[in-house]
Copies of this chain bind each other. A is one copy, B any other.
Amino acid sequence: MLRDRIRFQPLLEKLCTADEAASLIQDGMTVGMSGFTRAGEAKAVPLALAERARQHPLKITLLTGASLGNDLDKTLAEAHVLARRMPFQSDPGLRKAINAGEVMFIDQHLSETVEQLRTRQIPPVDIAVVEAVAITEHGGIVPTTSIGNSASFAILADKIIVELNLSQPVTLEGLHDVYIPSRRPARMPIPVVTPESRVGLPYIPVPPEKIAAIVVSEKHDSSAAIQPPDDETNAIADHLKALLLKEVQAGRMGYDLLPLQAGIGTIANAVLHGFLDSPFHDLKMYSEVLQDSTFELMDAGKLTFASASSITLSAEMYQKVLPRLAEYKHHLLLRPQEISNHPEVIRRLGIICINTALEVDIYGNVNSTHVGGTHMMNGIGGSGDFARNGYLSIFVTKSLAKNGAISSIVPMVSHVDHTEHDTDIIVTEQGLADLRGLAPRERAALIIHNCAHPDYRDQLQDYFDRALTRGGQTPHLIEEALSWHQALREKGTMRT
Q: Is A194 an interface residue (CB 8 A)?
A: yes
* CB <8 Å contact, B350 and A185: yes
Question: Which of A18-26, A113-121, A171-179, A289-297 faces chain B?
Answer: A113-121
Contacts of A373 in B (CB 8 A): 474, 476, 478, 481
User: So how many copies of this chain end up in the complex?
Assistant: 2
Q: Is A232 an interface residue (CB 8 A)?
A: no
Instruction: Mark out the residues of chain A between 273 and 331 whose CB falls within 8 Å of any chain B CB in the assembled complex.
Output: none
| In the complex, per-residue mask of A84-110: 1 if CB is within 8 Å of any chain B CB, else 0 | 101000000000001111001111110
Known: A194-B185, A468-B101. A416 touches B414 (CB 8 A): no
* CB <8 Å contact, A419 and B421: no
Q: Is A159 an interface residue (CB 8 A)?
A: no
Nearest B residue (CB) for A117: B437
Q: Is A252 an interface residue (CB 8 A)?
A: yes
* CB <8 Å contact, A481 and B482: yes
Nearest B residue (CB) for A369: B473
- Least CB distance from A111 to B in Å reads 9
Instruction: Mark out the residues of chain A between 441 and 478 whose CB falls within 8 Å of any chain B CB in the assembled complex.
Output: 441-442, 467-468, 470-476, 478
Contacts of A1 in B (CB 8 A): none
* CB <8 Å contact, A99 and B370: no
Known: A365-B416, A388-B343, A478-B489. A441 touches B104 (CB 8 A): yes
Known: A100-B471, A101-B441, A348-B187. A343 touches B389 (CB 8 A): yes
Instruction: Mark out the residues of chain A between 365 and 397 whose CB falls within 8 Å of any chain B CB in the assembled complex.
Output: 365, 369-370, 372-376, 380, 384, 388-389, 391
- Least CB distance from A173 to B in Å reads 29
* CB <8 Å contact, A252 and B120: yes
* CB <8 Å contact, A193 and B187: yes
For chain A, what secondary structure do more than half of its interface residues adopt (helix, strand, loop), or is it mixed?
loop
- Least CB distance from A114 to B in Å reads 13
* CB <8 Å contact, A471 and B344: no
* CB <8 Å contact, B471 and A478: no
From B106, B189, B372, B479, contact of A437 by CB (8 A) = B106
* CB <8 Å contact, A347 and B344: yes
Q: Is A223 an interface residue (CB 8 A)?
A: no
* CB <8 Å contact, A106 and B439: yes
Known: A119-B252, A189-B190. A184 touches B421 (CB 8 A): no
Q: Is A436 an interface residue (CB 8 A)?
A: yes
Q: Is A51 an interface residue (CB 8 A)?
A: no
* CB <8 Å contact, B391 and A184: yes
Tell me, in angstroms, the Cα distance from A482 to B476 when the chains sit together: 12
Nearest B residue (CB) for A436: B121
- Least CB distance from A359 to B in Å reads 13
Instruction: Mark out the residues of chain A between 402 and 417 whose CB falls within 8 Å of any chain B CB in the assembled complex.
Output: 414-417
* CB <8 Å contact, B475 and A374: yes
* CB <8 Å contact, A120 and B389: no
Q: Is A191 an interface residue (CB 8 A)?
A: yes
From B184, B189, B415, B474, contact of A191 by CB (8 A) = B189
Q: Is A486 an interface residue (CB 8 A)?
A: yes
Known: A109-B421, A119-B391, A471-B99. A482 touches B478 (CB 8 A): yes
Known: A99-B472, A375-B471. A107 touches B187 (CB 8 A): no
- Least CB distance from A131 to B in Å reads 25
Instruction: Pick 23 A–B contacts, CB within 8 A, sort by A.
Output: A86-B437, A120-B250, A120-B251, A121-B436, A123-B437, A181-B348, A184-B258, A185-B194, A185-B258, A185-B349, A189-B190, A189-B191, A189-B348, A370-B472, A372-B472, A374-B470, A374-B474, A376-B472, A384-B419, A415-B474, A416-B419, A478-B482, A481-B482
Closest 8 CB pairs of A and B: A189-B189, A374-B472, A376-B473, A416-B416, A104-B439, A122-B437, A344-B344, A343-B343
